[in-house]
Amino acid sequence: MRRGRITLVPWVAAVGVALAATACGEPAPGASGIASVSGPGARLSASGQVSQAAKDSALAQAGPETRLATPLSSAVVEIHEGDRAVVTVASASTSRGEQVAVQGVITQLLFSCVGGCGTSESDNVGISTTIGPAPADGTLEFILPLAAGGTGLARVSGAYPSYTVEMDDGLVDRDFNDVVLSVEITPAKDDCDLFQGPVSDPLLQNNDIQKALFELFQDSHPDAPNVHDRVEMAGYIVEQDGKLGFVPAGSNQSPQICSSTFTPSDLPAGAKLEGFVHTHPHDAGDPLPADGSCLGKSSGRFGDGASDADVAAALNSSVPTYVVDRDHVHRLPPFFNNSMFGTAADTASFVRNPNANCQ
Ligand SMILES: [Zn+2]
């Protein structure tokens, strides 16, 4: 018996290439399921598994274009609407420069070259890309497009939200290490957490409104180095089809650093006005621009909360007015009147959460 030179090769049929071609003068395959493999690498390990070197040797001799007709497996991971995925090349071990792509609820090329792209088999290890947000619940399938057409092999381990994807070009060794990806899903936030705690105002309790106010303030560029780039943005809280929503003001198209404009025609048909919103992107205590670009004033400092002009407008408003600044959302009630209700400083101020992330 030449036990040391005999091994089970159950994948032969799937490969579709007769290993007789690799026998190099050895006897033809013997009993069913047993083939003889020659070559210096063909040895049984102590556990009875053929060594990796033996598999590589046999397949290498079968020819570089040996490829499975259908993938052994695929790398499909779960993703939910609004999630993002951070995809990082954890390792690469191929002399070919491989493309890596994803298809499913998001379809795009992830990396144009991983592996042998110029200097080594591990070129571009460590590069990372973020995809999403996913437009719907579904799956992502990671694929290795092959230059000759079709895709390589892939398999996945892990569970939501952390996965490892191992990919192989399907040529020669099939050890699933040509490209290894780590995939970290960043779940969508269900809550905006705009405020430090629960708020008593029914409109501000709505998560979509919190997100809209957060984004409106971001769009005001409160951290822009040039004071003229910090602009007031405005909009409307509306109810439409039984749902609360946010409609931006037309004046946002040409925003000003110290004013914004509400125009009835901004509201779409069927939208019922529930509240006015605008931002104060300048921090309290900051000096007014000296060139008079803030409503003609050239000296003085920005204040906190609603301005005199805001109070005057609220006096005639049947819905609440909200002013979003860096630290608060100030609320003026309908028909706010200083003489009846006190000063603007007495109105409700909801404290913003500095760590809110409503993206
Ligand atoms: Zn204002």
Q: Where are the beta strands (DSSP E) in the chain?
A: 6-8, 34-36, 75-79, 84-92, 97-104, 108-115, 128-131, 138-143, 153-159, 162-168, 179-186, 234-240, 243-248, 272-279, 321-324, 328-332, 348-351
Is residue 6 scored above 80 in pLDDT? no
pLDDT band at 321 (very low <50, low <70, confident <90, very high): very high
pLDDT tens digits for range 72-120: 568 999 999 888 999 999 999 999 899 999 999 999 999 999 999 998 9
Per-residue pLDDT tens over the stretch 243-261: 999 999 999 999 999 999 9
Q: How far is the CA of 308 from the centre of ligand 1 (A)?
A: 8
pLDDT value of residue 346: 65
Q: How far is the CA of 193 from the centre of ligand 1 (A)?
A: 23
Is the pLDDT score of 67 beyond 60? no
110 plus 235 within the same structural domain:
no
Please check whether residues 252 and 223 belong to one and the same domain: yes
Of 37, 62, 87, which residue sits at a domain end?
Answer: 62
Based on the domain organization, do 104 and 221 belong to the same domain? Answer: no
Expressed in angstroms and rounded, the spacing between residue 65 Cα and the centre of ligand 1 is 70
What's the CATH code of the domain at 294?
Answer: 3.40.140.10
User: Which residues are within 8 A (CB) of 174 and not within 5 positions of it... i.e. 6 or more apart?
Assistant: 55, 59, 72, 153, 168
Residues 266, 181, single domain; the answer is no
Asked whether residue 212 falls in the same domain as residue 327, the answer is yes
% the chain with pLDDT above 70: 77
Q: Residue 45: inside a domain, yes or no?
A: yes
Q: Compute the distance from residue 105 Cα to the ligand 1 centre, in Å.
A: 42
Report CA(279)–ligand 1 centroid distance (Å). Answer: 7
Is residue 232 a contact partner of residue 260, using CB atoms and an 8 Å limit? yes
Is 337 within the bounds of a domain?
Answer: yes
Lowest mean pLDDT among 36-45, 70-79, 228-237: 36-45
Is residue 68 domain-resident? no
**Predicted pLDDT of residue 10:** 30
* CATH code at position 106: 2.60.120.400
Name the phi and psi angles at 115, rounded to 5: 95, -140
Grade residue 345 by pLDDT with cuts at 50, 70 and 90. low
Q: What is the mean pLDDT of the chain?
A: 80
Domain-embedded: residue 290: yes
How far, in Å, from the CA of 324 to the mean position of ligand 1? 9
Q: What is the pLDDT of residues 142-196, one digit of tens each?
A: 999 988 888 999 999 999 999 999 999 887 788 899 999 999 998 877 678 899 9
What does the alpha-carbon distance between residue 53 and residue 188 come to, in Å, rounded to a whole number? Answer: 45
pLDDT(9) > 60: no
Q: How far is the CA of 260 from the centre of ligand 1 (A)?
A: 8
DSSP state, residue 261: -
* 3-class secondary-structure state, position 251: helix
* pLDDT given for residue 72 in this prediction: 53
Q: Which domain holds residue 163?
A: 75-186
Sheet containing strand 97-104, edge to edge, reads 75-79, 138-143, 97-104, 108-115
Domain-located, residue 195: no
What's residue 49's pLDDT?
A: 35
Q: 144 C-alpha vs ligand 1 centroid, how far in Å? A: 54
Euclidean distance between CA atoms 3 and 44, whole angstroms: 8
Residues 175 and 284 in one domain: no
Q: How far apart are CA 176 and CA 154, in angstroms?
A: 7
Distance 347 CA to ligand 1 centre (A): 14
Q: What is the dihedral of CA 122, 128, 132, 134, to 10 degrees?
A: 50
Residue 344 confidence (pLDDT): 66
Tokens of 160: 């939501």
Counting the structural domains of the chain, the total is 3
Going from the Cα of 342 to the center of ligand 1, the distance in angstroms, rounded, reads 18
SS3 at position 178: coil
Whether residue 359 is contained in a domain is answered as: no
Reference 120, options 153, 137, 97; nearest CA is: 97
pLDDT attached to residue 357? 76
pLDDT in tens, 280-297: 999 999 999 999 999 899
The secondary structure of 267-328 as a DSSP string is: SPTTPEEEEEEEE--SPTTPBPPTTSTBTTB-SSB--SS--HHHHHHHTT-SS-EEEE-SSE
Residue 283 pLDDT: 93
Considering the domain architecture, whether residues 58 and 86 belong to the same structural domain is answered as no
Identify the residue with better confidence: 343 or 55: 343
| Percent of the chain's residues with pLDDT above 90 | 58
pLDDT reported for residue 277: 98
In angstroms, the CA 321 to CA 232 distance is: 14
Distance from Cα 310 to the centre of ligand 1, integer Å? 5
Residues 46, 111 share a domain? no
Between 29 and 165, where is the model more confident? Answer: 165
Give the Å distance between the CA of 306 and the centre of ligand 1. Answer: 5
Distance 267 CA to ligand 1 centre (A): 20
- Residue 293 and residue 230 share a domain: yes
Distances (CA, A) of 24 to 13, 17, 30, 39, 45: 19, 15, 15, 8, 22
